[in-house]
Structure 1
Amino acid sequence: MVDLCDKIGDIEYATRLFNHVSNPNVFLYNSIIRAYTHNSLYPSVIRIYKQVLANSLEFPDRFTFPFVFKSCASLGSCYLGKQVHGHLFKFGPDCQVVTENALIDMYMKFDALDDAHKVFDEMPEKTIVSWTAMISGYTGAGCYGEAMELFREMQLAGIDPDEISLISVLPSCAHLGSLELGKWIHIYAERKGFLRQTGVCNALIEMYSKCGMISQAIKLFDRMKGKDVISWSTMISGYANHGNAEGAIETFGGMQRAEVKPNGITFLGLLSACSHVGLWQQGLKYFDMMREDYHIEPKIEHYGCLIDVLARAGELERAVEVTKTMPMKPDSKIWGSLLSSCRTRSNLDVALLAMDHLVELEPEDMGNYVLLSNIYADLGKWEEVSRLRKLIRKGNMKRTPGCSLIEVDNVVQEFVAGDDRKPFWTEICSVLQLFSAHQDQDVIENNITLASIEMVGF
């Protein structure tokens, strides 16, 4: 009966039924725990779980733990989750893979990557769900290289990717610019019939957009059936990132005609598109539309985009006014955006205002001082330029090193300025010097280049 109440959504009646049983068995405990989990009543799950532990005649089993782990993750309590993990060793030595998958998922949501990987490594049997939980967790934690490596290991283990695993790894391809793997996934998904899944298409559109293949993203978007709000928003953001405001605005018009309700991400894309081409009045229109027509409460990201729209268009005073009226405190990104725009407009007053806040928020960021120094230089205020340079040297400030990525043989290599720990670092520098020596030539003959590369040991 508790299971039936769970299925029809009558959790109150399920609770009354459970409370009328004087000595519940583990089956009934599991039923009410499952019902509470399905209804997001996570504190109640933990309360019932404690009742199970207090019952000397009944013990939690392999059907109990997955829902308890999910509840711990949803409550954000890593300490509680580790306690339950300890109970698993005591009560569930014969637990099935579904319990271990739930445990991996819990640790990943806590960003406890080492704990998750330890559970994963010790699993005697790894299913597609196990691999996907790891890949998704690494992607969510920003460990994109590790996510892609696990995806390859999964295939080497003889497990074919499914739709969920593809959706999990594609954001990593997008962030690292791994176009070759992304293309392979597209071909694989088409062969398997996964392109009928909206989520797979959405992830591919994002990947192509972030890898610079906007034409391929548009082609895939146009062929899609049943576009959802994520589809439209992803395409709008893709156009925005490529500086195509017209494409973003036209896509939003199509979204409205399709009667798909936009969300906050949609308007972030629109505001970003307006920012790239200086459409500040259109940006204000979308900002007001978001609040008044769709009743979406702007977040700090929306205010940041609006301020960037105004600042880039030269409406610095309007931008400053937004910083004064927004309901939350502007962050360093907002003040940094204002400071950057001040150089183009030679507006020292707003630059100094922005710098005052940046010194408070990130006092050791050398880039802000360099920006202000450049503004002083443009205005011919060389004494101030000298003062800032002395301040930078005195404060031992460091600039954030530049970083670039390149994909070779389906492996993404990262290069950071000043990092000489890379394998073959000396040889790489020799090749770069070789290309630098020929950079003024209109044409570099392939045979000369290859011969030179062979000379340095490749």
Structure 2
Amino acid sequence: MFPRAMKCMKSDKRTLMLLDRCQHLLLTIAQIHHLHARLIVSGAISDPYAAAKLLAFYAISEDGDLAHSRAVFGALRRPTAFAWNTMIRAHADRKQPLDALYLCKHMLRSGFSPNNYTFSFVLRACVELSSLFDGRKFHTQILKRGWELYDFVLNGLIHMYASCGCLDSARRLFDLSTNKDVISWTAMVHGYAKSGRIDVARELFDRMPERNEVSWSSMITAYSQIGMFKEALEVFNEMQLASVKPNQAGIVGALSACGFLGALDQGKWIHVYVERNGMVLDRILGTALIDMYAKCGCIENALKVFDEMPERDVFAYTSMISGLSNHGHSEKAIELFDSMENESVRPNEVTFICVLSACGRMGLVDRGRQIFDSMNRVYGIEPRVEHYGGFVDLLSRAGLLEEARRVVLEMPMEPDPYVLGALLNACRVHGEVELGKETVESLVKLGIDHSGVHVLLSNMHASADQWEDVLQVRKGMEEKKVMKVPGCSMIEIDGVACEFVAGDRSHMCMEEIMSVVEATDVQLKSSDFDDCMVESELAYA
């Protein structure tokens, strides 16, 4: 044998041995490129085994170089099932589900026979796309090949149907399964929770023989998303007692619940937990912390988290702008909006709602007009009714009622209660009784006929010494049986959120609470607050 041929064979063998040794290592993209070059130089790139190994390295690389993966794959004369699966998995992992489905369909059209692993990756792509149509087509292929009973394929089908909202099919497969594991249970819990059937999700969750961090987090997130915040924190606390470490989704759900309940102590505890466990303060987790602190009134802590975030997206900026605006720091909120534009972070619809609110609180009419105008002109965002509401509120607070009225009349959509409520409240403040009456009539036509509307109108008449009209409004409330909605408040005590509703005396510590309230009332009456009057303003959800 010629020396050159002998040398090439030895080189090929050394390269293949190197590939085997590296298969359990997480290589950098530069190291993979180096291996790729060695395979080309040695000629081993034509070996299907070597090419498939190289594809696998590209697929699991953190940098994810799919362009080189496609080049290697395209050079294969006859790809193996392993090579096809590697490419399909790589695209599914890199959030390119359409390409993953295309590859699988191309594989079938090319006469290659997929195996059970192929469909586990493809079903994941269907979930990413929420494509029930494609999922059913691949389910047919799975049935033809008899792979439905493989555990990971069956779990993939259950997850696909549950995620796509086809719960009857998911439940049928789940009930047929003879080897239900934590993945199949969690898929069903997540599916029911996502569809709003929280009672069924909880019933299954309680029956689970084993729970992991994903199943716990699914329940926490589900409760938070439908506004059952107390239940979300209860599940989170149960998770701690079960010694299960929460994942990011569970922590974000718990932080959301803390923010809405004002459970600051528990929110701070979660923040400490995040830091102690070295969790990365990415955009999702950072935004959740900002939102929690802002809603609990700790705007300094929210700013600290915002400044510590290595990357800030539109959601982080919007949460911070909203928090600053709601806590009387409107000037800082507008400065942050300017910084956001300077850093080329594109604002979204919610950002404009928040910054218009900040302009309204500061009375910056010209700046507000400029921002409102820039929505469509600069960013191509068509103002929605919420934006018109913010703009009308800005003009109304500044006393520009005629301009505000003109904006309402020229709106391309029907004004909602918030828009009319902002105008009505301004009419009360500025004594515009006639415009106020017109606005109330518009609200009643929209079906908004609660006590707040009539109380504001009554107050307007009273301010104008129109006492007969005050009696007429009150009489109308009695005739229509308009009931005043009782006020409620919530306070956190030792990590537990307690809710109090006006007129409700059912709390176990009511005697002690009333004793403190009465003592406070006596103290206030004896102080300089005698002439203070608290006015209730109309609020719209």
Q: For the superposition of Structure 1 and Structure 2, which TM-score range results when normalised by the shorter chain?
A: 0.7 to 0.9
Shift of 1:348: 2.5
Where does structure 1 differ by over 6 angstroms across 4 or more consecutive aligned residues? 20-25
Whole-angstrom distance in 1 between the partners of 2:182 and 2:452: 50
CA offset digits 1:44-95 (Å, max 9, x no partner) = 2134436656x595535543455555555665x4xx31342133102x1312
Deviates more, 1:381-390 or 1:33-42: 33-42
CA offset digits 1:116-164 (Å, max 9, x no partner) = 1111111111111111111111111111111111111111111123333
Whole-angstrom distance in 2 between the partners of 1:226 and 1:57: 47
1:425 corresponds in structure 2 to 510
1:248 corresponds in structure 2 to 333
Which amino acid in 1 is paired with 2:152?
A: F
- Structure 2: give runs of 5+ residues left out of the alignment: 1-83, 92-98, 528-541
Shift of 1:175: 0.9
Would the aligned equivalents of 1:407 and 1:413 in 2 still touch at CA under 8 Å?
yes
Note closer, same or farther for the CA distance 1:389–1:56 as it changes in structure 2 (3 Å cut): same
Shift of 1:24: 7.3
Note closer, same or farther for the CA distance 1:10–1:408 as it changes in structure 2 (3 Å cut): closer
Candidates 131, 134, 148, aligned match of 1:59: 148
Candidates 430, 452, 459, aligned match of 1:345: 430
CA offset digits 1:189-242 (Å, max 9, x no partner) = 222222533322221111111111112222222233222222221111111111
Note closer, same or farther for the CA distance 1:74–1:339 as it changes in structure 2 (3 Å cut): farther
2:468 corresponds in structure 1 to 383
Deviates more, 1:313-322 or 1:279-288: 313-322
Which amino acid in 1 is paired with 2:405?
A: V
Would the aligned equivalents of 1:332 and 1:362 in 2 still touch at CA under 8 Å?
no
1:36 corresponds in structure 2 to 126
TM-score scaled to structure 2, two decimals?
0.74
CA offset digits 1:266-300 (Å, max 9, x no partner) = 21221110111222221121112121112123232
Would the aligned equivalents of 1:182 and 1:207 in 2 still touch at CA under 8 Å?
yes
Note closer, same or farther for the CA distance 1:3–1:43 as it changes in structure 2 (3 Å cut): farther
1:394 corresponds in structure 2 to 479
Which amino acid in 1 is paired with 2:265?
A: E
Candidates 58, 78, 85, aligned match of 2:171: 85
Candidates 322, 329, 333, aligned match of 2:418: 333
- Tell me the percent identity: 36
1:102 corresponds in structure 2 to 187
CA offset digits 1:275-327 (Å, max 9, x no partner) = 11222221121112121112123232222212221222222222233333333
In the comparison of the two structures, how many residue pairs are matched?
437
- Structure 1: give runs of 5+ residues left out of the alignment: 443-458
Note closer, same or farther for the CA distance 1:33–1:145 as it changes in structure 2 (3 Å cut): same
Which amino acid in 1 is paired with 2:368?
A: G
Shift of 1:248: 0.8
Deviates more, 1:3-12 or 1:292-301: 3-12
State the SS of the aligned residue for 1:405: strand
Candidates 22, 37, 45, aligned match of 2:135: 45
Note closer, same or farther for the CA distance 1:67–1:310 as it changes in structure 2 (3 Å cut): farther
Whole-angstrom distance in 2 between the partners of 1:343 and 1:361: 20
Whole-angstrom distance in 2 between the partners of 1:67 and 1:271: 46
Root mean square deviation, CA, Å: 2.6
Structure number with bigger Rg: 2
1:16-415 superposed matches below 5 A: 16-18=106-108, 27-49=117-139, 57-59=146-148, 61-64=150-153, 67-68=156-157, 71-72=160-161, 75=164, 77=165, 80-90=166-176, 92-194=177-279, 196-415=281-500
Note closer, same or farther for the CA distance 1:21–1:269 as it changes in structure 2 (3 Å cut): same
2:95 corresponds in structure 1 to none
State the SS of the aligned residue for 1:293: helix
Would the aligned equivalents of 2:417 and 2:448 in 1 still touch at CA under 8 Å?
no
Whole-angstrom distance in 2 between the partners of 1:154 and 1:410: 16
Would the aligned equivalents of 1:42 and 1:74 in 2 still touch at CA under 8 Å?
no
Note closer, same or farther for the CA distance 1:304–1:170 as it changes in structure 2 (3 Å cut): same
Shift of 1:6: 5.6
Whole-angstrom distance in 2 between the partners of 1:244 and 1:348: 32
